[in-house]
Amino acid sequence: MVDVPPLDDIDEESEERDLLYAVPPALADPLLAADPMRPRRVRRLPLGLASPPSTPSETDWDTALDGVAPYDDDDDLDVPEKEEPIRLYICGHSLGGAIAHVFLAKLTECHSSFLEFFDGLYTFGSPRVGDAVFQQFMQAHHSSMFRVVYNKDMVPRVPPIDPYAELPGHLVSLSPLGKMVFRPPGTITRPVNFLAPAGLLSPTVIFQLRNESFLRLVYRLLLPFFVNDHFPCDYVAALQKYAY
C-alpha cells in the first residue's frame, strides 16, 4: 500500500500535478470518515503502480454521454438481407451414403421442418438400402436424388437385388476418363464384367498412374480393381475431369 504524505509536505509545484478526487468512506482514513464528501489531495502515483480509486461525478457522466443517440425500439436495424435462402444438401460416400438415405427417409417420415431447406441428396459409392417399398416411398416425396457410381465399384452393387431394391434417385455413372452418364430413377447398376480389362490391365488406369502417389500404386497392386474403384480419390478425380 502506497503511503500518502501529509498535505503540508507537498510543495507548490507538485501540488499543481496532484489529482483531486473524492474518497469513498470505506477507503478514507479515520480523519475523513466523518466527512466522506470532503475532497482529499493525494500525490500522483509513479508509472506502474495502481491508480487511486476515483468516483465519477455527474458532470463526468454527462460529458461521456454527450453525442450518444438515445436508443429507440422502433428504429430499423441495418441488417443486410440475405440474397439467397439457406439450402440443405445431404451427401455421403460408401456407408455414409447409406446413412444419408436413411436420414432423409427419417426426415420425410416425421415431416421435419428441415425439408423446407432440402435441395438434394447426393451419394457416392453407396450400398443398397431398403426394399421396393422404401424405394417407392423416397421417389414419391423427392426428385432431387442422385447416386453416383464410379467405373466398376463393387459397393453400389451389393447387397443383392432380392430382397433389396436399387437405391432411389437418378443413377450417375462415372468413367476414369471423366465421362458422366445420367440414367433415370430405378435403373439397376450393371454387374461387374470380370472378363473386361480392368485395374492395372486397363489402359486408362495405366495412363493415370503418373498422377497418383506411391501409396495409391501399392493399393492397386494389393487390392482387386473393384475395391480400388471405391476409393473417394477416384470419385473426386473423375468429377474434376468432368467439371474442367
Model pLDDT for residues 166-179, shown as the tens digit of each residue: 999 999 999 887 78
Distance separating alpha carbons of residues 123 and 192, to the nearest angstrom = 20
Q: Do 184 and 158 touch, CB atoms closer than 8 A?
A: no
Distinct helix (H) and strand (E) counts, the chain:
9, 7
pLDDT of residue 59: 58
CA distances from 20 to 16, 37, 193 (A): 10, 12, 95
Considering only CA atoms, which of 233, 77, 242, 41 is closest in space to residue 153? Answer: 233
pLDDT of residue 23: 43
Among the ranges given (92-106, 125-139, 144-158, 174-188), the one the predictor scored with the smallest mean pLDDT: 174-188
Band of residue 132 on the pLDDT scale cut at 50, 70, 90: very high
Among the ranges given (10-14, 67-71, 90-94, 123-127), the one the predictor scored with the smallest mean pLDDT: 10-14
Q: Do 176 and 203 touch, CB atoms closer than 8 A?
A: no
pLDDT of residue 6: 52
Give 3-state DSSP helix, strand, coil % of the chain, rounded to 5: 35, 15, 50
- For the record, the C-alpha cell of 208 comes out as 493415370
pLDDT of residue 178: 75
Looking at residue 162, its amino acid is D
pLDDT of residue 232: 93
* In the chain, % of residues over pLDDT 70: 59
* In the chain, % of residues over pLDDT 90: 40
Compute φ and ψ for 111, nearest 5 degrees.
55, 50
Mean pLDDT, residues 133-145 taken together: 96
pLDDT of residue 89: 97
pLDDT of residue 82: 59
- For the record, the C-alpha cell of 73 comes out as 425500439
Distance separating alpha carbons of residues 219 and 206, to the nearest angstrom = 14
The mean of the pLDDT values for the chain is 76
pLDDT of residue 79: 52
- Going by C-beta distance under 8 Å and a sequence separation of 6 or more, which residues neighbour residue 67? none
29 bridge partner residues: none
Mean pLDDT, residues 87-113 taken together: 96
- For the record, the C-alpha cell of 44 comes out as 500522483
